[in-house]
Amino acid sequence: MIKSSPEFREQCYDLLLKIPHGKVTTYKEIAKALGSKAWRTVGSVIALNPNLINVPCHRVIKSNGQIGNYVLGTDRKAELLTKEGIPLAKGKVVNFEQYFHRF
């Protein structure tokens, strides 16, 4: 893993705040928005999110539409996404492109 700088982490968290309610984005999309290819580093940064209540890291999913991991468990992530109106089936976002947020 590439070590992330404090600035990179802050930029990741800032982008998380820009994902609208009822939308999802991907680790790769966040890396791209930051001018980076380090999507795995983005995932590591998001996993360390110190403020789950205000910084909606549950809205970040894998590029194939799978919801991926979450510090509070995948069941909780699925619950949060469903509450926001994002349909899921078998651990994936249904009609992924409809709910995908690009920066």
Is 81:88 a contact under the CB 8 Å cutoff? Answer: yes
- Residues with active-site annotation: 57
Mean pLDDT of the chain, nearest integer? 94
Q: Decide: helix, strand or coil at residue 66.
A: strand
What pLDDT shows up at residue 5? 87
pTM score, two decimals? 0.91
Q: Which tokens go with 78? A: 């699925």
Residue 60: inside a domain: yes
What's the Rg (C-alpha) of the chain? 13
What pLDDT shows up at residue 53? 85
Split into its structural domains, the chain has a count of 1
Give the pLDDT band of residue 1 (cuts 50, 70, 90): very low
Q: Which tokens go with 88? A: 């899921």
Is 34:11 a contact under the CB 8 Å cutoff? Answer: yes
What CATH number does the domain containing 10 carry? 1.10.10.10
Residue 1: inside a domain: no
Domain enclosing residue 46, as ranges: 6-99
